[in-house]
Amino acid sequence: PLCFLLISVGAHNRCPTYTAMEEWYSAFNLDLNPKLEWDAGLSSDACNEARGIVPSNAPHKFKAEKTFTKAGLVPDMIMETLKDGLKDNTQTENVRKLPDHTKYGCNSFFEKNLVKVVCVYKTI
Protein backbone atom coordinates (compact mmCIF):
# COMPACT_ATOMS: atom_id res chain seq x y z
CA PRO A 1 0.00 0.00 0.00
CA LEU A 2 2.80 2.47 0.81
CA CYS A 3 4.47 1.85 -2.53
CA PHE A 4 1.17 2.44 -4.33
CA LEU A 5 0.69 5.72 -2.47
CA LEU A 6 4.14 6.94 -3.50
CA ILE A 7 3.49 6.07 -7.13
CA SER A 8 0.14 7.82 -7.06
CA VAL A 9 1.56 10.98 -5.51
CA GLY A 10 4.44 11.03 -8.00
CA ALA A 11 2.14 10.47 -10.96
CA HIS A 12 -0.12 13.33 -9.90
CA ASN A 13 2.74 15.78 -10.33
CA ARG A 14 3.49 14.79 -13.92
CA CYS A 15 2.02 15.70 -17.25
CA PRO A 16 0.09 12.96 -19.03
CA THR A 17 2.38 12.44 -22.04
CA TYR A 18 1.77 9.45 -24.23
CA THR A 19 1.20 8.73 -27.91
CA ALA A 20 -2.51 9.56 -27.93
CA MET A 21 -1.74 13.00 -26.56
CA GLU A 22 0.70 13.67 -29.38
CA GLU A 23 -2.09 12.85 -31.81
CA TRP A 24 -4.49 15.27 -30.09
CA TYR A 25 -1.99 18.12 -30.10
CA SER A 26 -0.93 17.35 -33.66
CA ALA A 27 -4.53 17.52 -34.86
CA PHE A 28 -4.96 20.90 -33.18
CA ASN A 29 -1.70 22.33 -34.55
CA LEU A 30 -2.39 20.93 -38.02
CA ASP A 31 -5.41 23.24 -38.22
CA LEU A 32 -3.30 26.25 -37.23
CA ASN A 33 -0.21 25.50 -39.31
CA PRO A 34 0.19 22.24 -41.27
CA LYS A 35 3.95 22.72 -41.72
CA LEU A 36 4.94 22.19 -38.08
CA GLU A 37 6.86 19.13 -36.83
CA TRP A 38 6.33 17.37 -33.47
CA ASP A 39 9.30 17.21 -31.08
CA ALA A 40 9.01 15.03 -27.96
CA GLY A 41 11.72 17.03 -26.16
CA LEU A 42 9.70 20.21 -26.56
CA SER A 43 6.72 18.34 -25.13
CA SER A 44 8.76 17.90 -21.95
CA ASP A 45 9.57 21.64 -21.94
CA ALA A 46 5.86 22.38 -22.33
CA CYS A 47 5.09 20.10 -19.37
CA ASN A 48 7.53 21.97 -17.13
CA GLU A 49 6.07 25.31 -18.15
CA ALA A 50 2.48 24.11 -17.67
CA ARG A 51 3.38 22.93 -14.17
CA GLY A 52 5.04 26.27 -13.39
CA ILE A 53 8.41 24.65 -12.71
CA VAL A 54 10.67 26.08 -15.41
CA PRO A 55 9.57 28.36 -18.22
CA SER A 56 10.57 27.14 -21.65
CA ASN A 57 13.09 29.23 -23.54
CA ALA A 58 11.14 28.62 -26.76
CA PRO A 59 10.53 31.92 -28.56
CA HIS A 60 6.91 31.11 -29.43
CA LYS A 61 4.21 29.71 -27.15
CA PHE A 62 0.52 28.90 -27.16
CA LYS A 63 -0.99 28.81 -23.67
CA ALA A 64 -4.50 28.07 -22.53
CA GLU A 65 -6.24 27.48 -19.22
CA LYS A 66 -9.77 26.41 -18.46
CA THR A 67 -11.59 25.60 -15.25
CA PHE A 68 -14.19 22.86 -15.53
CA THR A 69 -17.21 22.49 -13.27
CA LYS A 70 -16.94 18.70 -13.41
CA ALA A 71 -14.41 16.17 -14.61
CA GLY A 72 -14.68 14.79 -18.10
CA LEU A 73 -12.74 12.73 -20.58
CA VAL A 74 -9.12 13.86 -20.78
CA PRO A 75 -9.05 14.35 -24.58
CA ASP A 76 -12.25 16.40 -24.45
CA MET A 77 -10.96 18.59 -21.63
CA ILE A 78 -7.69 19.21 -23.46
CA MET A 79 -9.44 20.09 -26.73
CA GLU A 80 -11.88 22.43 -24.98
CA THR A 81 -8.96 24.14 -23.26
CA LEU A 82 -7.06 24.50 -26.55
CA LYS A 83 -10.16 25.93 -28.24
CA ASP A 84 -10.46 28.51 -25.46
CA GLY A 85 -6.86 29.50 -26.18
CA LEU A 86 -7.87 30.36 -29.76
CA LYS A 87 -9.66 33.41 -28.34
CA ASP A 88 -6.23 35.00 -27.95
CA ASN A 89 -5.84 36.15 -31.54
CA THR A 90 -2.24 37.24 -31.06
CA GLN A 91 -0.91 33.83 -30.06
CA THR A 92 -3.10 32.10 -32.64
CA GLU A 93 -1.79 34.28 -35.47
CA ASN A 94 1.79 33.86 -34.25
CA VAL A 95 1.48 30.08 -34.63
CA ARG A 96 -0.13 30.43 -38.06
CA LYS A 97 2.81 32.54 -39.26
CA LEU A 98 5.59 30.19 -38.10
CA PRO A 99 7.90 29.03 -40.92
CA ASP A 100 7.98 25.54 -42.41
CA HIS A 101 9.59 22.81 -40.30
CA THR A 102 9.19 24.70 -37.01
CA LYS A 103 9.48 22.16 -34.19
CA TYR A 104 6.81 22.06 -31.50
CA GLY A 105 5.75 20.16 -28.43
CA CYS A 106 2.66 20.43 -26.26
CA ASN A 107 1.60 19.15 -22.90
CA SER A 108 -1.04 19.65 -20.26
CA PHE A 109 -1.27 19.74 -16.51
CA PHE A 110 -4.37 19.01 -14.45
CA GLU A 111 -4.81 20.60 -11.03
CA LYS A 112 -8.22 19.90 -9.51
CA ASN A 113 -10.71 21.47 -11.98
CA LEU A 114 -8.08 23.56 -13.77
CA VAL A 115 -6.48 22.36 -17.00
CA LYS A 116 -3.38 24.14 -18.30
CA VAL A 117 -2.14 23.45 -21.81
CA VAL A 118 1.12 24.78 -23.24
CA CYS A 119 2.60 24.36 -26.71
CA VAL A 120 6.11 25.64 -27.38
CA TYR A 121 7.60 26.28 -30.82
CA LYS A 122 11.21 26.59 -31.99
CA THR A 123 12.31 27.49 -35.48
CA ILE A 124 15.28 25.71 -36.99
Task: Domain count for the chain, please give it.
Answer: 1
Question: Could you tell me the residue range of the domain that residue 56 belongs to?
Answer: 2-122
The CATH number given to whatever domain includes residue 59 is 3.40.33.10
Quick: pLDDT tens for 18-51. Answer: 566 788 899 999 999 999 999 988 998 999 999 9
The pTM assigned to this predicted structure is: 0.84
- What distance in Å separates the CA atoms of residue 19 and residue 22, rounded to the nearest whole number? 5
Write down the pLDDT at residue 100. 97
Write down the pLDDT at residue 10. 40
- What distance in Å separates the CA atoms of residue 104 and residue 45, rounded to the nearest whole number? 10
Higher local confidence (pLDDT), 41 or 88? 88
